Amino acid sequence: MTKTIVFLGTAHDNGGSSFFADALAKRLRASGHRVEEWFLFGSQEGAVPAGVRVLCDHPRSSSPLVMMRVLTRLYTALRHTKPDVIIGLQTLSNLAGALTGLLTGVANRIATHHNPKHHLNRCLTAVDGLAGRFGLYTRIVACAESVADTYRDNGAAYARRLIAIPNGQHAPVLWTRATARARLSLPDDARVIGQIGRLQFQKNQTFTLELIGALPKTHLLLVGSGPDEAMLRERADALGMASRVTFVRSVDPQDIGSFYGACDIVVFPSRFEGLSLAAIEAIHCRTPLLCADIPSFREMFRTSPYLAQNAVLSTDDGARWLQMSQALLDDPALREAFVAALGRLSPAYSYEAMAEKYLALLDEGPRGVGALHPRPAP
């Protein structure tokens, strides 16, 4: 049965949830559904893609007056569109969509969580807990079991609506090394370590700068934009590394294989994550990766003992990161072992596997859980 579906995000900031919504929207359209992508606020990082609707072309704001204006516009838009389903993408948009969706008769109001609860705004997560317990959400989807676990203390009523659908991602078309490096203005003969993601505290790019500083004749490719960009450029200058760091503010999603093709290693020293779409892309591309020892990366590699032991490293142990980075750059046998392990893991994170679970969720409607098997509350 064809449904009208609205994805609702807080702001289109080129983060993972924005790309997640865009990709899933395309898949749902291919299944015959009518899908729109809306955001409460405009982008602070550049132009919003064509076809995306912005309700308030204003930087995200906690001003009560601004929020009232945004909620009024959202209410009016929902009254006009009459969707069957609204899917929130972040805590604020989850709440805004659930409240206005309830008032306008949207039967299926799905909240999604892409980050652990304890790293988000405490006031919003407290309201989110109430919304889930009292039925503003008909379903609550976490992008990983480790993320779902952080929300289970919201009570039995919340937990009954909570399921985990692990992230999946399309396998990028991998570019050849020479073509990718020419496209990204990188030296062809350098050893390149890459990091991709918003330039912000969560992603911990300062750790990567320190790592590169200890690796001579190694170049760093940082792809992303965000509030820490100026600080990171200044830090690279202060470390005398400006000539060894290339900043690229964005790469077209269709060309994302150029990033993985250009890099010898990619790193994810994040302070917290949901289930990183970029790390899943690296897995699909067989690009060796090193990740922080945090719950989501331990979950990502739990079926690969080899990667769990060698690719997941504590950011408190910089010497271990340095040792593994150097070894992956210098030891062909180690690289081959990583590539083989990534190839075995890749099918677990197929995009279709994730998309099919979302399609099943829509078909089941706001009640029974059927084949999705949510874990019971403890």
pLDDT tens digits, 298-319: 999 999 999 999 999 999 999 9
pLDDT in tens, 157-175: 999 999 999 999 999 999 9
Tokens of 2: 């064809």
What is the per-residue pLDDT for 62?
78
Determine the residue type at 366: P
CATH code of the domain made up of 4-168+351-372: 3.40.50.2000
Task: Check whether 261 has a pLDDT greater than 80.
Answer: yes
Give the strand order in the sheet containing 312-313.
245-248, 218-223, 191-196, 265-268, 289-292, 312-313
Alpha helices in the chain (DSSP H): 16-30, 64-81, 91-103, 122-133, 145-149, 156-161, 177-183, 205-213, 229-238, 257-262, 277-285, 295-300, 305-310, 318-330, 332-345, 351-364
State the greatest distance between any 2 C-alpha atoms of the chain, in Å, as a whole number: 61
Query: One fold for both 4-168+351-372 and 177-349?
Result: yes
Q: What pTM, to 2 d.p., does this model score?
A: 0.89
- 15 pLDDT band, cuts 50/70/90, is low
Q: Do 40 and 70 form a contact (C-beta atoms < 8 A)?
A: yes
Q: What is the CATH number of domain 177-349?
A: 3.40.50.2000
Domain spans, the chain: 4-168+351-372, 177-349
| Amino acid identity for residue 284 in this structure | H
